[in-house]
C-alpha cells in the first residue's frame, strides 16, 4: 500500500506546530501502525531530515505510551485497541491518514506526537496507594476477599494510564482514570483505612492539574483501549460524598 500521512510536527513545547505531509510507500498490511512510522522515519533519516518523534515501549498494548490521535480518533478508534495494536490492514491503498498528539491542557506537547502525561502521575501520587509496613510478603489467603469484590477491583486496575479517556473527552476530564484508581482500593479491605483521605487528595489533584469536569459524554469509555466502564466514575462520586460525611 501507498499512503499519504499528515503528521503533527512541533519542535518543542513553546514552538509553533503544524501538519506536514509525508508519503508512506510499500506498506505491508501486516505491519502495525508504529512499524509503518518506523519505516517512514528510516526514510526521513536517510534523506537527512528529522524523524517523527513518538512514544512507544512495549508495543503489546500494555504500557499505554503510544498516545496518538489517528484520523480524529484516539488510538485509531478501533474497539479496545492501542496504536501499537492497530494494523495497516485497517486502511486501504491510497488512503490519507492524519496523525496528531493528545489534545488536552493537562497534556502539554513536548515534541511532535509526544505529550507530557505527568499530570496523571500527580493524581496517582496524591493517593493511589496504601500505606503499610514493608517487610515479608503476607500470605495471599490471610485476608479472604469475595470473588465479586476481587473481580471489581481487577476490572478497575486494568487501566494502563494511557490518557485516551482525557484526549477523547470534550472536557479533557480525567474522571475515569481517577475513578479507576479510587475504586480499585475503595472496595478492598487494605484500602479502607485511607479511603476518605485518598479520594479527597486525588480529586484535589484532578482539579489542580487542569483537567475538566465530567458531563457524561461517555467518550472516555468509548476511547479506552481496555474498555474501562464509566461505573467507576459513579464510584468515585459516591466515595467523595462519603468522605464529606462525619
**What domains can be seen in the chain, in order of their start residue?**
3-111 (3.10.20.30), 117-131+140-244 (1.10.1060.10)
pLDDT tens string 227-237: 999 999 999 99
In this prediction, residue 137 carries a pLDDT of 72
Compute the distance between CA of residue 207 and CA of residue 175 in angstroms, rounded to an integer: 10
Place of cell 459513579: 234
pLDDT at 140: 67
Burial 67-87 (b: 16+ CB within 10 A, else e): bbbbeeebbbbeeebbbbbbb
- % of the chain at pLDDT higher than 70: 99
Residue (of 130, 155, 146, 128) closest to 224 by Cα position:
155
- pLDDT, tens digit, 9 for 90 and up, residues 131-173: 877 777 777 678 889 999 999 999 999 999 999 999 999 999 9
pTM: predicted TM-score of the whole model, two decimal places: 0.93
Which positions of the chain have pLDDT values less than 50?
Answer: none
Amino acid at each position: 500500500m501507498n499512503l499519504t500521512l499528515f503528521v503533527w510536527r512541533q519542535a518543542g513545547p513553546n514552538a509553533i506546530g503544524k501538519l506536514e505531509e509525508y508519503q508512506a510507500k510499500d506498506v505491508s498490511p501486516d505491519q502495525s501502525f508504529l512499524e509503518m512510522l518506523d519505516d517512514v522515519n528510516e526514510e526521513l533519516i536517510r534523506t537527512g531530515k528529522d524523524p517523527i518523534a513518538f512514544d512507544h515501549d512495549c508495543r503489546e498494548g500494555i504500557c499505554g505510551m503510544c498516545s496518538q490521535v489517528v484520523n480524529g480518533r484516539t488510538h485509531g478508534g478501533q474497539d479496545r485497541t492501542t496504536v501499537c495494536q492497530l494494523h495497516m490492514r485497517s486502511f486501504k491503498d491510497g488512503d490519507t491518514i492524519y496523525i496528531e498528539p493528545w489534545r488536552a491542557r493537562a497534556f502539554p506537547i513536548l515534541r511532535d506526537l509526544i505529550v507530557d502525561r505527568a499530570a496523571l502521575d500527580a493524581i496517582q501520587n496524591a493517593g493511589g496507594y496504601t500505606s503499610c509496613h514493608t517487610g515479608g510478603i503476607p500470605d495471599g489467603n490471610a485476608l479472604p476477599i469475595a470473588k465479586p469484590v476481587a473481580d471489581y477491583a481487577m476490572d478497575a486496575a486494568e487501566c494502563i494510564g494511557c490518557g485516551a479517556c482525557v484526549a477523547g473527552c470534550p472536557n479533557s476530564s480525567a474522571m475515569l482514570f481517577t475513578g479507576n484508581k479510587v475504586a480499585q482500593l475503595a472496595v478492598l479491605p487494605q484500602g479502607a483505612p485511607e479511603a476518605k483521605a485518598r479520594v479527597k487528595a486525588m480529586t484535589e489533584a484532578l482539579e489542580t492539574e487542569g483537567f475538566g469536569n465530567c458531563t457524561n459524554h461517555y467518550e472516555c469509555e468509548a476511547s479506552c483501549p481496555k474498555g474501562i466502564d464509566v461505573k467507576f466514575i459513579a464510584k468515585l462520586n459516591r466515595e467523595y460524598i462519603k468522605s464529606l460525611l462525619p
